[in-house]
Structure formats: C-alpha cells, structure tokens
Amino acid sequence: MRTSIATVCLSGTLTQKLHACAEAGFDGVEIFEPDLVAAPESPEEIAALAHRLGLSLDLYQPFRDAEGVSDESFAAVLHRARSKFRLMRRLGIDTMLVCSNVATATVDDDEHSAAQLRRLGDEAAPYGVRLAFEALAWGRYVDDYRRAWRITELADHPNVGVCLDSFHILSRGHDPAAIEDIPGEKIFFLQLADAPALTMDVLSWSRHHRLFPGEGAFDLSRFVGHVLAAGYRGPLSLEVFNDTFRQTDVLRTAQQAKRSLRWLEDQVARRSGRLSRPGGPERLPDVDQPTGFDFVEVKAEDAGEVDTLLRQLGFTFRGRHRSKPVRLWAHGPARVVCNENLAREWPPTLAAVGFEVTDPKAATQRAGELEAPPVFRRTYAGEQPLPAFRAPDGTEVFLSGAGDGEPAWVAEFESDDAGVGAEEPLLTGIDHVNLAEPWQSFDEAVLFYSSVLALRSGSSQDVAAPTGLVRSQVIRGENGAVRLALNVAPLAYDHPRGFPQHVAFASSDVMLAARTARARGLRSLPIPGNYYDDLAARFDLPAGLVEEMRELGVLYDRDENGDFLHFYTETIGGVFFEVTQRRGGYDGYGAPNAAVRLAAQHVHDQRLGRR
C-alpha cells in the first residue's frame, strides 16, 4: 500500500525530514505547518525538492479552529484559509486537514459547522483543494468521528470530506466499526498512530506519547480493516507526536516508521482476507515463533574471565573455531560463544543472540521485508552461513534452523580437551536474555524484536535501582520458549551501553547448581541478609530453605501458579549470568527481586572501586 508520514514525527529541519522519508522508502509526506513556517526554503523549493526525491506531498496540516465560530469571527477564518490555499497551490498540495475547533468555537450546532465547512469548500474549490475534517479527541464540541462525519454529510460539498485518525478515535474508546458507514471516497485521509495504554488527559497523551504501529497497545489492524472495508484507497499515513522520536536520528526514525507500516499491513492482510486485492495490504512471509535460543555470544578482547565463569557454572568447553579466535561452551542445549575476533578494546559484552526457527529462509525473507539491517559476519559460522540482522540496540540477531541434535555450525569448533566439565547437566537451556536498550531506541527495539521475530510484547514496568528507575519490558513467544527482557537504564547510568546485560540459564535444580558452582569457585552476587529476613516475613517458607538460600545467594519469588528460584554471578565487564528454576507454572522473571539485585550490583561495584 502507499505509505506517507507527517513531518512532525521526525527530528531535524524540513529538508532533512524529506531526505530521510525518501531514503526510508516512503511514497509521500504530510507537511506539518510549523515545519514549513520555520523553514528558510520557499514553498516552491520544498515542492521541487520533494519532486526530485520522488515524494508526493499528500496533506497540509493542520488548519485549526475553522468551524463552530460566530459569523463575525468567520471572516478571519476565511482570510486565513485563502492565504493557506494560495500557499498549498505553491506547494502543489491538494488536501488540507481541518481539525475540529478547540479554542474559538462558540456555536455547538451541526448545521452551523456544516455551513461554515461548505463555505470553506466553496473557497477551496477554485484552488483544487479538498478539506479533510477531523474530530480531535479534545475538540470543543466535535470530539467524535461520527459527529465529524455527520457534519461533513450535512456540508454536502464535493471538496469537503473527513480525515480519520486512529489516535483520536481509539484513545476515546470509540468503536471504529461505524467507519464502514462512511463512503470510502469521502474519507479524504487516514492518519495512524499507536499509543501505550496510559490513563492521563488525552491531549498530553496525544502530544507526547504516541507511538508507531506495533509499539503500543491499540488494535490498529482492526481499525485499518474498517477503513479499507469502507473503500478508502489513499495512503496509510503516520502522525506520531513523540518526545523521543523528536530528538532521535531522523533517518533511523523514518526507517522505524516504515517498518511499523509494513508490519501493520501484514497484520491487516492476515485479519481481513476479504480485503485482498491489487494494491491492498500484503502479507509478510509466514513464520512460526522461534522455538528456542540457538546460542548467545559474548564478545571481548579477552574473554578469559567469562570462560572461567562458564566452567564454574558447569559448561563444557566444546572447542575453538577452526579459523577464528572464537570458543564454544555448552551445557546441555545452552550454548555460549566467546568471541575475541575483531574485539579490540571490547569489555565482555553480550553481542549476539541466535534463535532457532522452523523456516530460516522465510524468517530471513520476513526480516528483509521489515528492512532489518543485515549483518555480514561469519565469525564462528565459518562455512555454515547463518543469516543475521542488527537490532536497534546493536545486538546481532542470528536465525538458524531448529533441529533435533546440535546445529551444524557446532562442528566447526575443534576441541583438544573435550569432555572437561561434562558432568550431569544442571542447566537445561537458556531461559531468557536480558538486553540493555538506549533510551533513544527502546520503542524501536520493541517493534524490531516483536515484528522481525514474530514475538509478542508485554506491558512495561519500572524497577528501582540506586541510580534511578529501570524501565523493563518483556518480548516473548506464546509458549515461553523464547523470552527477551528489554531494559532502559536511568540516564545518569555511566556504563557505555547503559547497563550490564545478562543471560539467564534454566536449571532443574538451582540449589544444586549453586552449590556445585560454588564448589568450583564461583562467586555469586552477594545478597543482603535483610533480604532473607524479609523473605521469611513475606512467605511461609521452611526455615531451612531460607537459610540455604541465604548461604548460596539464591533469591525467591512466587506467583499464582508456582515459584521461582534464581541466583546471579558477578558482573564481568558488561555481562553477567543468572541461573533460574521455574517450579509449577511460574511465568515471571523474579521482578520483585530486581531492585535487590540492582542494589547488590551497585554496592559490589562500589566496594571494588568500579564506580
């Protein structure tokens, strides 16, 4: 489908925005008036630049406070409108967004508003301008798209139609089904925005917290389905006011925006089979959710301390890569690659995550259609090429075929001391991976991981660290085979990437794993005695168990289905490990313990003079 985007979504100057939109592959843009007013280029220059870039100028917006005014005030509206129609002719734009009145309306009457819109339509017609009337969620009298359509019907003018904006409709909880009552040719424009589920005044929510489709909580595929069913054939256009996107790299944000529309188109196509037609929404390649983690990779100039930690956790050294300074460790199906290739000055860092997928070819094609940037690297894959993409946070995401035995790439690792540590497996795989996200790209990362890997994103929560609140959001498969926790560090955090990251292994007996690791010399993260006193107060646990947890630094949580035991290693550079045990149907991540862990890491680092 054709795609468009309002310039207000992006940072920079108007010309920078146009260049970025073209580069990201948009077909057109909406010109947000303040962007034009603040631009030194003349309207003719802007029109010529857009033409050269292959961008259509789809909408001029917004024209405010047009209807519902007194007859005396309407003269000034007409003066303003004519001036803007002349400007639109200079720009070559044929559609103007007219918002429902917020500031100057004094007449709450459909006929009155309709008459004024009709008059504006008469004025617009000679300029070839069409007016798309939109109900703002906070309009003085008109705050519902159904009323905006009623007024438009009454205006009964070929140059007057409606604009539908998903935010204004869904934020108010209005049922979008009645969109299908509007003739498609009278829907002059469609604006799309997602948003997180917040309870706040709708104006602030709209101005600061809109998101691109797939990043928030709105059901946009249903919404667009209604609009397409009504017969709308114009572009899918994004209008997202977001405090973060206003200050992030203009091209990256434009690419993120484009990805969100591609994802949405797929969702719409899947939901509304009846809408499939030439030019209609197209599906992405069908993929299943990943069936598990293939491996994680720690990159470091010197990964020696990580090797030690893995050995203490019971991992078996599986060998060196035949051609690169890369080592493989395994424990049951949990595989960790230590990569010292091209890693000069890298502290130990979680650099790559491999996912097992049922159809790597389709998954790769899907990632490509979502414009995930490919990574050309074959570090440990050697002759076994694994497709890989770079996530917004810099993590390299590898896709490999799910199979019964070990993946083929493992054979590229040659060992001279295989078997060391090959005892009874205490770890049963990778439970989850915890990634640090720069604040600038958090929403982008949510969209990336959930759209490229076909995962589901949950709601976010805050955890208190000594240096501020950490925002955390889980992205996971339906069956829990793959779980990612995305975390945004407090701004003041001084680690280059924000935060240390970690890999949580699954265990069938975390107490035994902790005791065995300790016997091998592991220093687990020290947990305060006060934590165990509190644990004993909160839960009716056997005193012996609490004492054993205290001794081993094991933490505890419980939900309505089961319980959770886990411990942490010390941090090496930017990475640490966790060992977890889910009992019963426990489905969380020990969130109530996260603040204790963060404080313990902070104190531990301070004692060692690391901050």
Using CB under 8 A, list all residues that contact a copy of itself: 11-13, 33-34, 36-43, 76, 79-80, 83-84, 87, 198-201, 204, 207-208, 243, 246-248, 439-440, 462, 464, 466-469, 490-492, 526, 528-531, 533-534, 536-538, 540, 595-596, 598-600, 602-603, 606
Q: Cβ 247 to a copy of itself, closest distance in Å?
A: 3
Hey, which bits of 33-165 come out as E strands?
56-63, 95-99, 130-134, 160-165
Is residue 502 within 8 Å of residue 573, measured between CB atoms?
no
In the complex, least distance from residue 74 CB atom to a copy of itself, rounded to whole angstroms = 14
Residue 591: both structure tokens together: 């969130």
- Rounded to a whole number of angstroms, the minimum distance from the CB of residue 440 to a copy of itself is 8
Structure token pair of residue 369:
């259609």
CB of 140 to a copy of itself, least distance (A): 17
* Distant-in-sequence contacts of 141-146, Cβ < 8 A, 24+ apart: 141/68, 141/100, 141/101, 141/105, 141/108, 141/113, 142/67, 142/68, 142/100, 142/101, 142/113, 143/100, 143/168, 143/172, 144/172, 144/174, 145/169, 145/174, 145/178, 145/179, 146/174, 146/178
Which is closer to a copy of itself, CB of 38 or CB of 519? 38
In the three-class reduction of DSSP (H, G, I as helix; E, B as strand; rest coil), residue 430 is classed as strand
Check residue 469 and give left, alpha or beta (phi > 0: left; psi -120 to 50: alpha). beta
Q: Between 241 and 315, whose beta carbon lies closer to a copy of itself?
A: 241
Minimum distance of a copy of itself from residue 129's CB (angstroms): 15
In angstroms, rounded to a whole number, what is the distance separating the alpha carbons of residues 272 and 262? Answer: 15
Q: Which is nearer to a copy of itself, 410 or 541 (CB)?
A: 541
Return the number of the residue (42 or 561) whose C-beta is nearest a copy of itself: 42
**Shortest CB 60 distance to a copy of itself, Å:** 12
Q: By C-beta, is 91 or 287 nearer to a copy of itself? A: 91
Q: How far is the CB of 563 from a copy of itself (least distance, A)?
A: 16
Q: Is 424 exposed, middle or buried (0-12, 13-18, 19+ CB in 10 A)?
A: exposed
Nearest to 222 by CA among 175, 187, 263, 182: 175
CB of 186 to a copy of itself, least distance (A): 27
Least distance between a copy of itself and beta carbon 304 (Å): 29
- Closer to a copy of itself at the Cβ: 422 or 599? 599
CA end-to-end distance (rounded Å), the chain? 52
282 vs 534, beta carbon nearer a copy of itself: 534
> Encoding tokens for residue 322?
């035949």
Q: Side chain identity at 539, as an amino acid letter?
A: F
Closer Cβ to a copy of itself, 80 or 146, answer by number: 80
Q: Which is nearer to a copy of itself, 33 or 143 (CB)?
A: 33
CA distances from 328 to 64, 266, 312, 373, 578 (A): 62, 38, 15, 26, 19
